Every structure is written in structure tokens, then in C-alpha cells.
A and B are shown apart, each in its own frame.
Chain A
């Protein structure tokens, strides 16, 4: 995994001071003068020059409390909780922001340090409104933990007894409660530096300082893409996801409703974290039992429609390529993936002129909703009006996506509620379910079969790998296992911000039956692809998306790509805004390992081999991939939103 995943030191907004101290760490640690001796609380350690005091302390197991510091973000040095005494310095120094360039002696818990830390905390608590009992972060709050760790037993500077700010619940995805904000600015650094979206910024000064949107407009009225990365990095309950669990409980308890849930792959690899298990402990099958136990009528696997997405999006790509290469018509290439709703809203706001590149295929979540309220409703003779579809997602943007007005081709909302990992864990806890101890059970028919290709949608590069497995087999007629060991297409895996790969088509087979179901297919042999090399790219995090789009606009190397996977969140879905808190590169890597291990364990690992998908085409989507029914139910349109804020 790359050293600099997500730490966007090249961002123009990353403070120059940070860029300065990061580059000074020598690459060759054996060079003379590259290491420097420090003594932390009497423990001596050698660290590379430029290492911060905090990093050095962590190395030897000395714990310095932090608040505004975050592994994913550029250094701010503003909360001052991590101050330590450096011998010879008149003032205390913020350990997160102090690069060691000379031998120094550091003391992390002197009287001065403890008194300062405690008073800084007292000052923060004096402005933090809210009772811990009534907060969704109770038990998982850094401010609360800090207060416990520092032995806070009274409010030295008082405690607000009434709210000072109104709750912003305008967004389908993100809830903002400025009463709980402690101005650590992690959300600002997430939004501006990590994601380069720039919805949140610090405004005013002195004790009037606050974090605000443009002109303090509600989140629903600004260019927020709903990625929720700010939620994952907020130390308190100032940012959260808009929580639909009350509605879900109500519908579960309503006997006239048939409530089904689809579960996406990423939450399964992470929900264990909410029950004290280490990151990367998959609980897929325990979760199925737990979902039935709390009253869901059916439990489906979103991987099913991930496979469907691959077929639809892959077919769309093949048709676009044919129009471009054979018909010589102007076609928007490269084609962009459309399964990340944060990314979709990003391009709608920031690059509306590039929307034709976006695949018209709905995301797996929405495809599933549409299939349930049509095909499944017909199969089981249930009035779709009585079906409630819930989607368990790693993603706060999915909440917005399911409320898009265009997502109701069946005449009913495709998906009624988007539930995120944290919320489901809370529902389990409320029901007294100890998830890790649940028995294992499978998914319900008729969508019970899924493939490994669907699972890896949860990691950056996964959609591309799944698509490549299918496209390579459909075109070449070869088993992809014969081309790549275990069908693992490694060039598109990993956490690099932008990955590029060229995949040569090894030979041409015959056009498979599944594509021939589409009567409008404009070719009956692959001859037009003779000697072709597929150029693809993968990126995650909207800051990287911006670089890819700018490169395409400038006619750079990526403009020659045929297909590009975009994920709004760093790491892909496993780093989604609905995932358990905290997050950092190690946690995301552990989740990724769980996802790829699950893929490797599947018998069927390629979307086009999924028998349930094939049955769906044979019985229901009879026009084949991209055919009439598929187009009506499984494809969508986009809105060029631009950046104008009324």
C-alpha cells in the first residue's frame, strides 16, 4: 500500500508549513544525519529528521492525546490538546505539528502539560452543548473519551444549558449539529483538502468562529456531494448521517408491509467493528441471521445487482466502443462508472459538461430496488406498494440517491430507505443482538447466488476488476483464470490514488448468447475488436477524480482510456461515509483484505456466470442487456447541477 494514500500534501490548501516539514524526512535513513536522537519522558529513540513528536511518541508507545489530528488529514495544530514540554522552549509545543530536527528532550505529562490540557478541554466542554446520553456518538466520541482520560469531574467553565445553533437536517444524507462542534476543523480539512469539494469552511474569527457552508445555507442547498467523509472524521456528534431507523422499525412492525433488505459487501467487512471486533472481520452470514431476527422478511445480497450492473455497464461500454470504432460516430469515451452516488453528484456539480461520459446504468442499490418492485413482486404476487426495500450501505450518499425523483421507474420508489452500517449496528444493539455470536445463514432466493465479482465492488478497483473479468471472457471466450492467476487482476487493485492499466484482448471468441438476447446488437462477431487493447483507469476520492477529469480535459494520457472507475470515497466503499468510526489507512486496508478474501472464497467469481442473473434476463429482462426493459428499469439520467447556488 502506498505511503501517501489520502494524505494530500500536494493540495494547494494543505498549509505550506505542513508541506515543508513532510518533505524534509530523508528518503535514505542510512545517510549520515538522517536520524536524530530524542528523549521522550526519558525514553530514548532515534527517528528520521522531520518526524513529528507525536509520531516519535507513538513509535515507542507513549500515548499523547490528540483531537484535531487525524491520520488522513494535513496537520492543523489548532486544538492544542497534544501540547508537550520541549526542554529549552518557553512555551508548550503541539506534538502533532512539531517536526524534530535536532536532538531534543520532551516531557509529555508534566504539571504544566496536564494543567494546560485539562483547561483546554474545560474550555471546549464549556461550549459543547448536549448530554452524552442523548447523542448518537455516546460511547464512540473522542471528546467524551478525552474527558474520561483527563479525569474531568466538573465543568470548570460551565456547560451550555441551551442550544445555540439550529440543527441542519435539510440534507437526505448528512446531519449537522453545530452545538456539538468543537472547531477542530477536521471536516473542513476533509472537505477542502482530502476531497477537494469545499463545502465547509471556517468563517468569522475570535469566539464567533464557526464552520459554515456558503452563506450558511442548508447543506441541501449547497454543492455537498453527500460523501460523508466529514462524518467519519468528526470527533464528536456535530456531523452524522440522517438516520431512518425509526421509519424502518415502523415498517418492520407493520404486518401489511413486506420488508426486504439488500446488503452491500462493504458493511459486512466492517460491522464487526461496532461490536468490538478488529477491522476486517467479515460477518456476512451472521448478519443474515440477525436481519431475519429483527424482522426483515427477506435478506438479499446487493452483489446480485452488482453482477447485473457489470452486465449492463459492460454492454453499454461495448456498444459505445462499437459506435466509436466501427460507426466512427462521436461517442463520449472514456465511459465512467456510475455506482458511487457521491461521485455522481460530484460530476453533476463540478463537471456537468462531462455527464455524457457517465454510464447510464443505475447503481446496484437502485437496480435491486427496481427489480424487487417489479420482477420479485410479480414472482411472489405482492403489490409493490406493500413492499418496503431497505438497502444496507456503507454510504451516506446512498440516502440521497434513493430519494432522487428519477429513481422510481416502476412507479414506486426503487429503494425506500438507505441504512448505513453504523445505523444497522445500532438496530442490532437495540434488539439485544450480539452479532458476532449469531448463527450463520445464507441469502434468500431468488437472488441467493452472487459472485465474487459483486463482493469486490466494495474496494477501490473492484468494479473495474469485475468488469474486466466479464468483458475479457465475453470477448475472448477464454477463462479469465487462464489469463490471471485465480482471476485476480492485480493491476487494478491497491490504494494508489489513480491507477492505470492496459489489458490486451488475447484472442477473439464468438459473441455469447447473453449479448445476443439484445435484438439491436449491431454486430455478430468480435472481428472489430481484433488486436484491441483495453485502456482503463481507477481512482478513488474526489480529489483524485478531479485530477483524472482535468487530465482528460487537457487531452492527457487518461483521455485515451476506454473505461474509468470512480469512487467518491478514499479506499472506495470500504471507506464510505456510513462506515464505522474511526477510519484510517490501516483500518481501510484491513477491510479490503476481508473483501478480497471473501471474493476468493466464492465458487462463481464472474458476473456473467451468475445463474440468477441469467435467469432474470431469460424470464424478465427479455430484451437482453441494454434492451428495452433493462433500459427502463435499470438505467437512469443525470442532472447537470453546476455550482451556482441561489
Chain B
């Protein structure tokens, strides 16, 4: 497969009807086995094996289960789910329907990001077309399998992209992550076994069902299979949504998007890592630099302290506020950045902040808090002299 395709290349070639029909012709366990054979991992960023998740939910004993599609695409610098929903919504809906068949659920819910409200109408129309075509409803494709999908709106909280906070929000509560275990596959929406998957993951499921696990597994690396969409933004000549196979070196990606002179790339959004030029040979994949698809390019003139500040301001704002490390820790890191800006952060205090960041990674309740110091820590690691510059100058 050649590199450097701007836009949805593979997904546009997939026939959603073929994927759904192929899935419904099989037993639930066979659907899960196919995903496992394809070695599909979650496209939201965490990279949990989809086959494992679905098989746990399929085994959970309950007469009512749910399929949730996480369309709360809130990670800064991520906009590929928006394009999928706009251009190939049927792939996603078919994937959710396949999920219902695989785990024994008859209801799916799309949790749509509040800012994507303008997409709701076309998505509702797509659902109506699917119902009319018998692809949703009491007898999907004429089989005894019943499944329908509802669209529910988020209200602009980043943390509601965390799956248990998403579920709390759907239940009408404050969007705050739950304690885990139990995991949603055991006790999710309304306490029932629930799978929560990213928009792109569902599209991949449909693609795998349509074209087979061997086709999917042949793309990418051994541990990171399949095509992956990337939202590329920042200081590059050709920003946009790209499709690349997993395992691509950062340098090649930069060449494709016209960002060869970058001094750093933020991979994985605000909660991802800042990769310096010295590490551009690293590959983007689950075993390398993992990402849900956000790539932000920083050109040679970018002030990395401003970059760190921007990310920390985001987390101070978006922390749900329940656990101490995330609520207070992010504010302290942002305060530390202000001290760096003023040239009055000692090396000792910077070490203290680094330790704090590590504690936040270890002790926060959910993935938001655990990953919120990532950008700060990697910028401190790789651009220490730059961010300490004002302090050094003040000392001279």
C-alpha cells in the first residue's frame, strides 16, 4: 500500500452493506474471532484490543446490553471522526450494528460531540435511510436480529470522551469518570454490559467484515494492524485528514504533510507526547508512539513554553475536578509554567513539578488525569534549556 493519501481512502472503498451482511451470516463468536484475527485495536487512542473487549461483553450475562459509539471527538488537534461521520456514516452505523450482533445488544447510542450539532441532522437522515432499507429495526436484513441506533448530544466536556464519564453523562449525571473495575463490559450504561468504541473503530469493524481479517492484518505492523486516520494540523504546508498505515516513521509523515522543518511534533493530542526532532525516526503505532490520530506540527519558531502552557490551560479547564492529582496538579503545573515565563522557576522547583507530573500519571483516577502531564513532562525532558531560558537569563 502506498503512503500519503489525503482523505479517507480505504474507508471510501468499503461497502458497508457487504460488511453487515457478512457479519450477520456468522455466529456472534465468529464475528469476535474475526476481529481478534485482524488484531484490531481501539482507534480512540488507548489501543485496547477490540476483539477482547467484545468477547468480554458477549460473555457477560445480561438480557440487555448496549453498544455505544464515542463520537465525542474532543482531543485537541483531532478531527478525523468528524470527517468519517460526514462522509461514510454508514460504515460506523454498520459497525455498531455488527457490535450489537456480536455481543447480543439491541440498542446502540452515538454520543455526539456538542460542537458537532450541525452533523446531527444528516446523521439522523442516514439512520432513517438505514431503517427504511431494513439495515436497522426489528429484523435487520430480514434476520431475527433487532437493532436500532439513537443519537445523543454531548455538551462540550472533554472528559466525557472518557468512556465511563460518557456513560455517566448519558445517564444524566455530571460527566465524571467512574471507578474501574468494574469495566463497562460488565457494568456500563444503566449498569448493563456495554461496549464503548471510537467512531473509527466501528468503521474498521465494518471494513474487516467486508474484506476479511487477513486483508486488514496485512496492513501496518505486527502489533498495529490496519490503516489509520490522522488529523494533521499546525506548522505544515498541507494540514488535513490523512490515511497512513500503522508503523509510519514521524519523519515520513512530516514529509507527506510538508512539515520537514518541524522542531517537534505533538502526537496524540493534548494528552499525547511531544516528540523532538531527534526522535523523528520513531514510528507511530501502538508499540511505538501511540495515538488516536492527532498530529500537531511545531515549526522552528514555536516557543515550546507557550506550547506547554496552551496544553496545561486546556487541562486545568477540562479536568472534571473530582480527583485531587488532576484537579490540583494541573493547576500547579500551569502555575509552574507562569513561573517559568517570568524567569523565576528554580531548577529545584522544576524537578518538584516533574515529580508531581509523575504522581499525576500514577495516581489520577482516569486516563485524563493520568495523561494530562504528558505534554508538560516531554517538553521539560526535550526542551529543558529552552523553557528554562528566561530563568537562566534572569540569573545572569
Please list the residues of chain A having a beta carbon within 8 angstroms of any beta carbon in chain B: 15-21, 75-81, 83, 91-92, 94, 97-99, 101, 112, 115-116, 119-120, 123-124, 126-127, 156-157, 183, 185, 202, 204-209
Contacts and interface: CB of A to CB of B under 8 A. Distances in A.
Contacts of B325: 80, 116, 119-120, 123
Closest 7 CB pairs of A and B: A209-B321, A20-B187, A123-B328, A97-B179, A207-B331, A17-B178, A116-B363
12 contacts: A16-B187, A16-B191, A17-B182, A21-B181, A78-B323, A79-B323, A91-B362, A123-B329, A205-B157, A206-B317, A206-B331, A207-B331
Interface string B4-25: 0000000000000000000000
A94 B157 CA distance: 24
B182 A21 contact: yes
A92 B365 CA distance: 9
A98 B182 CA distance: 9
Contact of A116 (B174, B190, B359): B359
Given A15-B178, A17-B180, A92 B362 contact: yes
B346 interface: no
A77 B321 CA distance: 12
Given A17-B164, A127-B328, A209-B322, A94 B179 contact: yes
A20 B181 CA distance: 9
Contacts of B167: 16
Contacts of B182: 17, 20-21, 99
Residue in B187, B324, B361 whose Cβ sees the most chain A Cβ within 10 Å: B324
B229 interface: no
Given A94-B365, A116-B359, A209-B320, 16 more contacts: A15-B179, A78-B323, A78-B324, A123-B324, A157-B328, A183-B321, A183-B324, A204-B321, A205-B159, A205-B317, A205-B321, A206-B318, A206-B330, A207-B331, A209-B321, A209-B327
Contacts of B331: 206-207
Given A123-B324, A157-B332, A77 B362 contact: no
Given A116-B359, A119-B355, A20 B191 contact: yes
Interface of B: 157, 159, 164, 167, 171, 174, 178-182, 186-187, 190-191, 315-325, 327-332, 352, 355-356, 359, 361-365, 370
Contacts of A204: 321
B324 A80 contact: yes
Contacts of B318: 205-206
Contacts of A91: 361-364, 370
Residue in B190, B328, B362 whose Cβ sees the most chain A Cβ within 10 Å: B328
Contacts of A94: 179, 365
Contact of A83 (B171, B187, B363): B363
B110 to A, nearest CB: 21
Contacts of A202: 174, 321-322
Contacts of B370: 91
Where chain B touches its partner, the secondary structure class is helix
Contacts of A101: 181
B171 to A, nearest CB: 8
Nearest to A83: B363
B124 to A, nearest CB: 29
Contacts of B191: 16, 19-20
Residue in A101, A116, A127 whose Cβ sees the most chain B Cβ within 10 Å: A116
Residue in B178, B330, B355, B362 whose Cβ sees the most chain A Cβ within 10 Å: B362
Nearest to B314: A206
A21 B183 CA distance: 10
Contacts of B190: 16
Residue in B157, B322, B329 whose Cβ sees the most chain A Cβ within 10 Å: B322
Given A20-B191, A124-B328, A92 B179 contact: no
Contact of A98 (B181, B332, B356): B181
Contacts of B157: 205
B362 A126 contact: no
Residue in B159, B331, B359, B361 whose Cβ sees the most chain A Cβ within 10 Å: B359
A20 B194 CA distance: 13
A63 B356 CA distance: 25
A611 B283 CA distance: 92
B363 A92 contact: yes
A618 B256 CA distance: 102
A80 B327 contact: no
B324 A79 contact: yes
A6 to B, nearest CB: 20
Contacts of A81: 324
B365 A120 contact: no
Contacts of B365: 77-78, 80, 94
A206 B312 CA distance: 12
Residue in A15, A119, A185 whose Cβ sees the most chain B Cβ within 10 Å: A119
Residue in B157, B159, B315, B331 whose Cβ sees the most chain A Cβ within 10 Å: B331
Nearest to B180: A17
Given A16-B190, A17-B178, A91-B370, A120 B363 contact: yes
Given A78-B323, A205-B318, A115 B181 contact: no
